[in-house]
Amino acid sequence: MAYTPLGYSLPDLTVQGFTAPTAAWGSPLTVTVDVKNTGSSTLIEPLALQPGATSTSDAGPTQVVVYATPQNGRSTRRAVQIGVIDIPGIPQNDVQQFTGTFQLPSRPPGFAKEGGVINVFFQVNPTRNILESDFTNNNSRKSPVLIAAPLPKVAAVGLALPPTLQPGDTIQPNIQVANFGTVDTSTQGPITVALVASVDRKFGPGSSVIALYTLDNISGIDTVPSTSQAFGQSTINTPNNVATIIGNAVTLPDRPRNYYIGVVVDPSNSIKQLGKIGRHRVRTSGFSLIHKVGPPIAGLPPAGVVVPGNGDNNQPFPFPLNPNTKVGNPIFTDPPSIF
Protein backbone atom coordinates (compact mmCIF):
# COMPACT_ATOMS: atom_id res chain seq x y z
CA MET A 1 0.00 0.00 0.00
CA ALA A 2 1.19 3.49 -0.80
CA TYR A 3 0.12 5.74 2.08
CA THR A 4 1.62 9.21 2.42
CA PRO A 5 1.80 11.65 5.35
CA LEU A 6 -0.39 13.95 3.26
CA GLY A 7 -3.38 11.85 4.22
CA TYR A 8 -4.02 10.17 0.87
CA SER A 9 -2.53 7.40 -1.24
CA LEU A 10 -0.32 7.73 -4.32
CA PRO A 11 0.37 5.45 -7.28
CA ASP A 12 3.60 3.47 -7.46
CA LEU A 13 4.64 2.47 -10.99
CA THR A 14 7.10 -0.30 -11.83
CA VAL A 15 8.10 -1.83 -15.16
CA GLN A 16 9.62 -5.09 -16.30
CA GLY A 17 10.02 -6.27 -19.85
CA PHE A 18 11.61 -8.62 -22.33
CA THR A 19 12.96 -8.34 -25.85
CA ALA A 20 13.53 -10.37 -28.96
CA PRO A 21 16.64 -12.51 -28.36
CA THR A 22 18.55 -11.37 -31.46
CA ALA A 23 18.74 -8.20 -33.53
CA ALA A 24 20.99 -6.34 -35.96
CA TRP A 25 22.22 -2.76 -35.86
CA GLY A 26 20.04 -0.64 -38.12
CA SER A 27 17.19 -3.19 -38.03
CA PRO A 28 13.97 -3.44 -35.98
CA LEU A 29 13.77 -4.77 -32.43
CA THR A 30 10.45 -5.66 -30.77
CA VAL A 31 10.01 -5.36 -27.00
CA THR A 32 7.20 -6.07 -24.55
CA VAL A 33 6.77 -4.35 -21.19
CA ASP A 34 4.56 -5.03 -18.18
CA VAL A 35 3.70 -1.82 -16.35
CA LYS A 36 2.33 -2.29 -12.85
CA ASN A 37 0.71 0.18 -10.48
CA THR A 38 1.14 -1.21 -6.98
CA GLY A 39 -0.42 1.84 -5.38
CA SER A 40 -3.68 1.28 -3.51
CA SER A 41 -6.07 3.27 -1.39
CA THR A 42 -5.41 2.92 2.32
CA LEU A 43 -8.08 5.32 3.55
CA ILE A 44 -11.78 5.61 2.86
CA GLU A 45 -12.08 8.22 0.14
CA PRO A 46 -15.36 10.06 -0.48
CA LEU A 47 -14.86 9.73 -4.25
CA ALA A 48 -13.78 6.08 -4.24
CA LEU A 49 -16.42 4.21 -2.31
CA GLN A 50 -17.69 2.16 -5.24
CA PRO A 51 -15.61 -0.61 -6.85
CA GLY A 52 -13.84 0.75 -9.90
CA ALA A 53 -14.29 4.37 -8.87
CA THR A 54 -11.39 6.77 -9.31
CA SER A 55 -8.73 6.94 -6.63
CA THR A 56 -5.75 9.09 -5.79
CA SER A 57 -3.72 5.89 -6.32
CA ASP A 58 -4.66 5.76 -10.00
CA ALA A 59 -1.84 6.72 -12.38
CA GLY A 60 -2.52 9.02 -15.31
CA PRO A 61 -0.98 8.70 -18.79
CA THR A 62 2.80 8.50 -18.92
CA GLN A 63 5.56 6.81 -20.95
CA VAL A 64 8.08 3.98 -20.89
CA VAL A 65 11.46 4.80 -22.42
CA VAL A 66 13.49 1.96 -23.95
CA TYR A 67 17.28 2.18 -23.54
CA ALA A 68 20.22 0.14 -24.81
CA THR A 69 23.54 -0.07 -22.97
CA PRO A 70 26.83 -1.91 -23.56
CA GLN A 71 26.89 -5.35 -21.97
CA ASN A 72 29.66 -4.45 -19.53
CA GLY A 73 28.22 -1.07 -18.62
CA ARG A 74 27.52 -0.87 -14.89
CA SER A 75 25.69 2.44 -15.07
CA THR A 76 23.12 4.00 -17.37
CA ARG A 77 25.29 6.99 -18.30
CA ARG A 78 26.17 5.45 -21.68
CA ALA A 79 22.60 4.39 -22.37
CA VAL A 80 21.16 5.15 -25.80
CA GLN A 81 17.43 5.75 -26.14
CA ILE A 82 15.92 3.54 -28.84
CA GLY A 83 12.20 4.13 -28.37
CA VAL A 84 9.25 5.36 -26.33
CA ILE A 85 6.00 3.53 -25.52
CA ASP A 86 3.00 5.67 -24.57
CA ILE A 87 1.19 4.34 -21.51
CA PRO A 88 -2.46 5.23 -20.80
CA GLY A 89 -3.74 5.68 -17.28
CA ILE A 90 -3.34 2.60 -15.05
CA PRO A 91 -5.73 2.15 -12.11
CA GLN A 92 -4.54 1.16 -8.66
CA ASN A 93 -3.56 -2.49 -8.16
CA ASP A 94 -3.41 -3.11 -11.91
CA VAL A 95 -0.89 -4.34 -14.47
CA GLN A 96 -1.01 -3.83 -18.24
CA GLN A 97 1.17 -5.11 -21.08
CA PHE A 98 2.39 -3.13 -24.10
CA THR A 99 4.49 -4.04 -27.15
CA GLY A 100 6.48 -1.78 -29.44
CA THR A 101 8.87 -2.16 -32.37
CA PHE A 102 11.78 0.25 -32.77
CA GLN A 103 14.64 0.71 -35.21
CA LEU A 104 18.04 0.13 -33.68
CA PRO A 105 20.55 2.84 -34.64
CA SER A 106 23.87 2.23 -36.34
CA ARG A 107 26.32 0.79 -33.81
CA PRO A 108 27.18 3.50 -31.25
CA PRO A 109 30.81 3.75 -30.11
CA GLY A 110 31.63 1.24 -27.40
CA PHE A 111 28.70 -1.06 -28.17
CA ALA A 112 29.03 -4.70 -29.25
CA LYS A 113 29.79 -5.70 -32.81
CA GLU A 114 28.24 -8.73 -34.52
CA GLY A 115 28.53 -11.71 -32.20
CA GLY A 116 28.41 -9.55 -29.07
CA VAL A 117 25.63 -8.66 -26.66
CA ILE A 118 23.92 -5.45 -25.61
CA ASN A 119 21.53 -4.89 -22.72
CA VAL A 120 18.10 -3.30 -22.98
CA PHE A 121 16.23 -1.83 -20.02
CA PHE A 122 13.06 0.20 -19.50
CA GLN A 123 12.16 3.27 -17.45
CA VAL A 124 8.58 4.16 -16.59
CA ASN A 125 7.43 7.71 -15.81
CA PRO A 126 10.78 9.14 -17.00
CA THR A 127 9.79 12.81 -16.63
CA ARG A 128 8.04 12.17 -13.29
CA ASN A 129 4.86 13.75 -14.59
CA ILE A 130 3.03 11.31 -12.30
CA LEU A 131 3.51 11.92 -8.58
CA GLU A 132 4.45 8.56 -7.05
CA SER A 133 5.15 7.27 -3.59
CA ASP A 134 8.48 5.80 -4.77
CA PHE A 135 10.57 6.80 -7.80
CA THR A 136 13.47 4.45 -7.03
CA ASN A 137 11.81 1.40 -8.62
CA ASN A 138 11.03 2.93 -12.01
CA ASN A 139 13.86 1.15 -13.88
CA SER A 140 13.62 -2.47 -15.00
CA ARG A 141 16.18 -5.23 -14.97
CA LYS A 142 18.36 -5.53 -18.07
CA SER A 143 17.49 -7.89 -20.93
CA PRO A 144 20.36 -9.20 -23.10
CA VAL A 145 20.10 -8.97 -26.89
CA LEU A 146 22.52 -10.82 -29.16
CA ILE A 147 23.80 -8.73 -32.07
CA ALA A 148 24.06 -10.57 -35.40
CA ALA A 149 24.40 -9.75 -39.08
CA PRO A 150 21.24 -8.51 -40.87
CA LEU A 151 20.44 -11.84 -42.51
CA PRO A 152 17.67 -14.46 -42.22
CA LYS A 153 18.20 -17.99 -40.90
CA VAL A 154 15.43 -20.41 -41.83
CA ALA A 155 14.74 -23.94 -40.66
CA ALA A 156 11.86 -26.39 -40.68
CA VAL A 157 10.52 -26.81 -37.15
CA GLY A 158 7.33 -28.84 -37.67
CA LEU A 159 6.05 -31.60 -39.96
CA ALA A 160 2.70 -33.18 -39.07
CA LEU A 161 2.23 -36.63 -40.62
CA PRO A 162 0.55 -39.91 -39.65
CA PRO A 163 2.71 -41.94 -37.25
CA THR A 164 2.88 -44.91 -39.65
CA LEU A 165 3.49 -44.49 -43.37
CA GLN A 166 3.51 -46.97 -46.24
CA PRO A 167 4.66 -46.50 -49.83
CA GLY A 168 1.75 -45.20 -51.92
CA ASP A 169 -0.09 -43.56 -49.00
CA THR A 170 -1.90 -40.30 -49.72
CA ILE A 171 -1.18 -37.72 -47.02
CA GLN A 172 -1.97 -34.08 -46.25
CA PRO A 173 1.24 -32.54 -44.86
CA ASN A 174 1.37 -29.59 -42.46
CA ILE A 175 4.77 -27.89 -42.30
CA GLN A 176 6.11 -25.11 -40.08
CA VAL A 177 9.17 -23.06 -41.02
CA ALA A 178 10.88 -20.60 -38.65
CA ASN A 179 13.19 -17.67 -39.31
CA PHE A 180 15.83 -17.34 -36.58
CA GLY A 181 17.57 -14.49 -38.38
CA THR A 182 17.48 -10.78 -37.67
CA VAL A 183 15.59 -9.67 -40.81
CA ASP A 184 12.59 -10.85 -42.82
CA THR A 185 13.19 -13.34 -45.62
CA SER A 186 11.43 -10.97 -48.05
CA THR A 187 14.60 -8.85 -48.07
CA GLN A 188 15.95 -11.49 -50.48
CA GLY A 189 12.73 -12.65 -52.12
CA PRO A 190 10.37 -15.62 -51.73
CA ILE A 191 11.65 -18.82 -50.17
CA THR A 192 10.96 -22.37 -51.37
CA VAL A 193 10.08 -25.28 -49.09
CA ALA A 194 10.21 -28.85 -50.44
CA LEU A 195 8.66 -32.06 -49.14
CA VAL A 196 11.23 -34.64 -50.21
CA ALA A 197 11.51 -38.43 -50.44
CA SER A 198 14.98 -39.97 -50.18
CA VAL A 199 16.44 -43.47 -50.08
CA ASP A 200 18.68 -42.37 -47.19
CA ARG A 201 18.77 -39.58 -44.60
CA LYS A 202 20.42 -37.14 -46.99
CA PHE A 203 19.15 -34.79 -49.69
CA GLY A 204 20.95 -35.43 -52.95
CA PRO A 205 21.19 -38.18 -55.55
CA GLY A 206 18.37 -40.63 -54.98
CA SER A 207 16.04 -37.93 -53.63
CA SER A 208 12.80 -36.79 -55.27
CA VAL A 209 10.56 -33.80 -54.57
CA ILE A 210 7.02 -34.76 -53.57
CA ALA A 211 5.68 -31.19 -53.29
CA LEU A 212 6.98 -27.62 -53.46
CA TYR A 213 5.66 -24.61 -51.54
CA THR A 214 6.55 -20.91 -51.82
CA LEU A 215 6.58 -18.52 -48.87
CA ASP A 216 6.56 -14.82 -49.71
CA ASN A 217 7.95 -13.85 -46.31
CA ILE A 218 8.81 -15.10 -42.83
CA SER A 219 9.41 -12.42 -40.22
CA GLY A 220 12.71 -12.45 -38.35
CA ILE A 221 13.06 -13.46 -34.72
CA ASP A 222 13.83 -9.80 -33.95
CA THR A 223 10.03 -9.28 -34.04
CA VAL A 224 9.33 -11.91 -31.35
CA PRO A 225 9.93 -10.69 -27.78
CA SER A 226 10.07 -13.67 -25.43
CA THR A 227 11.80 -15.05 -22.38
CA SER A 228 12.37 -18.41 -24.11
CA GLN A 229 11.82 -19.95 -27.54
CA ALA A 230 9.52 -22.94 -28.09
CA PHE A 231 8.00 -24.37 -31.24
CA GLY A 232 5.66 -27.10 -32.39
CA GLN A 233 3.06 -28.60 -30.07
CA SER A 234 4.57 -26.89 -27.02
CA THR A 235 3.21 -23.51 -28.14
CA ILE A 236 -0.41 -22.35 -28.06
CA ASN A 237 0.06 -19.32 -30.29
CA THR A 238 2.35 -19.57 -33.31
CA PRO A 239 5.19 -17.01 -32.99
CA ASN A 240 5.44 -14.24 -35.55
CA ASN A 241 8.63 -15.73 -37.01
CA VAL A 242 6.99 -19.08 -37.86
CA ALA A 243 5.00 -19.71 -41.07
CA THR A 244 2.58 -22.64 -41.31
CA ILE A 245 1.93 -24.44 -44.60
CA ILE A 246 -1.28 -26.45 -44.92
CA GLY A 247 -0.48 -28.50 -48.00
CA ASN A 248 -2.76 -30.20 -50.47
CA ALA A 249 -3.07 -33.97 -50.56
CA VAL A 250 -0.06 -35.72 -52.11
CA THR A 251 0.60 -39.38 -52.84
CA LEU A 252 3.88 -40.87 -51.69
CA PRO A 253 6.03 -42.92 -54.09
CA ASP A 254 4.95 -46.57 -54.18
CA ARG A 255 8.53 -47.85 -54.19
CA PRO A 256 11.07 -48.73 -52.92
CA ARG A 257 9.78 -50.69 -49.95
CA ASN A 258 11.65 -48.48 -47.48
CA TYR A 259 12.62 -44.83 -47.76
CA TYR A 260 12.41 -41.52 -45.89
CA ILE A 261 10.46 -38.29 -46.28
CA GLY A 262 11.29 -34.91 -44.77
CA VAL A 263 11.58 -31.19 -45.41
CA VAL A 264 14.25 -29.20 -47.22
CA VAL A 265 14.08 -25.40 -46.90
CA ASP A 266 15.56 -23.39 -49.78
CA PRO A 267 16.78 -26.49 -51.66
CA SER A 268 18.48 -24.38 -54.35
CA ASN A 269 20.36 -22.22 -51.78
CA SER A 270 18.93 -19.08 -53.34
CA ILE A 271 19.10 -16.87 -50.23
CA LYS A 272 22.08 -15.85 -48.15
CA GLN A 273 21.67 -16.87 -44.52
CA LEU A 274 23.42 -16.38 -41.21
CA GLY A 275 26.45 -18.61 -40.90
CA LYS A 276 27.09 -17.72 -37.28
CA ILE A 277 24.82 -16.87 -34.35
CA GLY A 278 26.86 -15.35 -31.57
CA ARG A 279 30.14 -17.24 -31.52
CA HIS A 280 28.65 -20.47 -32.81
CA ARG A 281 28.63 -21.50 -36.45
CA VAL A 282 25.33 -22.82 -37.77
CA ARG A 283 24.97 -25.19 -40.67
CA THR A 284 22.55 -24.65 -43.51
CA SER A 285 19.33 -26.55 -42.90
CA GLY A 286 19.34 -29.73 -44.97
CA PHE A 287 17.06 -32.76 -44.98
CA SER A 288 15.21 -32.45 -41.66
CA LEU A 289 12.19 -33.68 -39.69
CA ILE A 290 12.71 -37.09 -41.26
CA HIS A 291 9.96 -39.76 -41.17
CA LYS A 292 10.43 -43.36 -42.23
CA VAL A 293 8.14 -44.81 -44.90
CA GLY A 294 7.64 -48.58 -45.08
CA PRO A 295 7.94 -51.41 -45.21
CA PRO A 296 4.48 -52.25 -46.62
CA ILE A 297 2.18 -53.94 -44.12
CA ALA A 298 0.86 -57.26 -45.36
CA GLY A 299 -2.85 -57.11 -46.16
CA LEU A 300 -3.12 -53.33 -45.64
CA PRO A 301 -3.44 -51.26 -48.84
CA PRO A 302 -2.13 -47.67 -48.98
CA ALA A 303 -4.16 -45.13 -46.99
CA GLY A 304 -5.86 -42.07 -48.42
CA VAL A 305 -7.83 -38.96 -47.53
CA VAL A 306 -11.27 -37.56 -48.30
CA VAL A 307 -11.24 -34.31 -50.27
CA PRO A 308 -14.16 -31.99 -51.12
CA GLY A 309 -16.10 -32.81 -54.27
CA ASN A 310 -15.69 -36.59 -54.13
CA GLY A 311 -15.64 -38.04 -57.64
CA ASP A 312 -12.21 -38.48 -59.20
CA ASN A 313 -10.58 -36.41 -56.46
CA ASN A 314 -11.82 -38.64 -53.67
CA GLN A 315 -9.17 -40.95 -52.23
CA PRO A 316 -10.85 -42.72 -49.31
CA PHE A 317 -9.18 -45.03 -46.86
CA PRO A 318 -9.20 -48.46 -48.53
CA PHE A 319 -11.54 -50.47 -46.37
CA PRO A 320 -15.24 -51.26 -46.99
CA LEU A 321 -17.55 -48.34 -46.34
CA ASN A 322 -21.27 -48.38 -45.73
CA PRO A 323 -23.30 -46.24 -48.16
CA ASN A 324 -23.17 -42.50 -47.39
CA THR A 325 -20.45 -43.01 -44.77
CA LYS A 326 -17.78 -40.32 -44.63
CA VAL A 327 -14.27 -41.18 -43.47
CA GLY A 328 -11.58 -38.71 -42.45
CA ASN A 329 -11.63 -34.93 -42.36
CA PRO A 330 -12.04 -32.81 -45.51
CA ILE A 331 -8.94 -30.93 -46.60
CA PHE A 332 -8.39 -27.91 -48.82
CA THR A 333 -7.97 -28.28 -52.57
CA ASP A 334 -7.00 -24.65 -53.09
CA PRO A 335 -3.33 -23.56 -53.11
CA PRO A 336 -1.58 -24.09 -49.76
CA SER A 337 -2.64 -21.74 -46.99
CA ILE A 338 0.21 -19.71 -45.49
CA PHE A 339 -0.37 -17.87 -42.22
In total, the chain counts a number of residues equal to: 339
Residue 189 shares a structural domain with residue 99 = no
Cα radius of gyration rounded to whole Å, the chain: 27
Residue 120 shares a structural domain with residue 184 = no
Residue 252 shares a structural domain with residue 171 = yes
Residue 78 shares a structural domain with residue 175 = no
Residue 142 shares a structural domain with residue 233 = no
What is the full per-residue pLDDT of the chain (339 aa) written as tens digits? 444 555 568 899 999 999 999 999 999 999 999 999 998 776 555 554 466 667 788 899 999 999 999 987 656 778 999 999 999 989 988 999 999 999 999 999 989 998 899 999 999 999 999 999 999 999 999 999 999 999 999 999 999 888 889 888 888 899 999 999 999 999 999 999 999 999 888 888 778 889 999 999 999 999 988 876 554 445 567 888 999 999 888 888 888 889 999 999 998 888 888 775 555 555 666 889 999 998 988 777 767 655 454 445 444 443 333 444 443 333 333 444 444
So what's the pLDDT on residue 296?
A: 85
Residue 285 within any structural domain of the chain: yes
Neighbouring residues of 50: CB distance < 8 A, sequence distance ≥ 6? none
Residue 204 shares a structural domain with residue 308 = yes
The three state secondary structure string of 241-300 is CEEEEECCCEECCCCCCCEEEEEEECCCCCCCCCCEECCEECCCCCCEEEEEECCCCCCC
So what's the pLDDT on residue 259?
A: 92
Number of structural domains, the chain? 2
Residue 247 shares a structural domain with residue 196 = yes
Residue 2 within any structural domain of the chain: no
So what's the pLDDT on residue 190?
A: 93
So what's the pLDDT on residue 98?
A: 95
So what's the pLDDT on residue 282?
A: 58
Residue 125 shares a structural domain with residue 249 = no
Residue 3 within any structural domain of the chain: no
Q: How far apart are CA 86 and CA 129, in angstroms?
A: 13
Residue type, 316: P
Residue 98 within any structural domain of the chain: yes
Q: How far apart are CA 39 and CA 93, in angstroms?
A: 6
Residue 94 within any structural domain of the chain: yes
Taking CA atoms, 81 is separated from 21, 149, 167, in Å, by 18, 21, 59
Residue 220 shares a structural domain with residue 267 = yes
Q: Which of these three, 108, 129, 147, is where a domain ends?
A: 147
So what's the pLDDT on residue 253?
A: 87
Residue 137 shares a structural domain with residue 217 = no
Q: Please give the model's pTM, rounded to 2 decimal places.
A: 0.77
Return the DSSP state at 301. Answer: P
DSSP 192-224: EEEEEEESSSSSSTTEEEEEEEEES----GGG-
**Count of C-beta atoms within a 10 Å radius of residue 330:** 12
User: Measured on CA atoms in the order 142, 64, 238, 271, is the torsion positive or negative?
Assistant: negative
Residue 118 shares a structural domain with residue 208 = no
Q: Which of these three, 111, 131, 147, is where a domain ends?
A: 147
Residue 4 within any structural domain of the chain: no
Residue 5 within any structural domain of the chain: no
Residue 105 shares a structural domain with residue 217 = no
Domain span at residue 92 reads 13-147
- The CATH number assigned to the domain holding 317 equals 2.60.40.10
So what's the pLDDT on residue 286?
A: 83
Neighbouring residues of 5: CB distance < 8 A, sequence distance ≥ 6? none
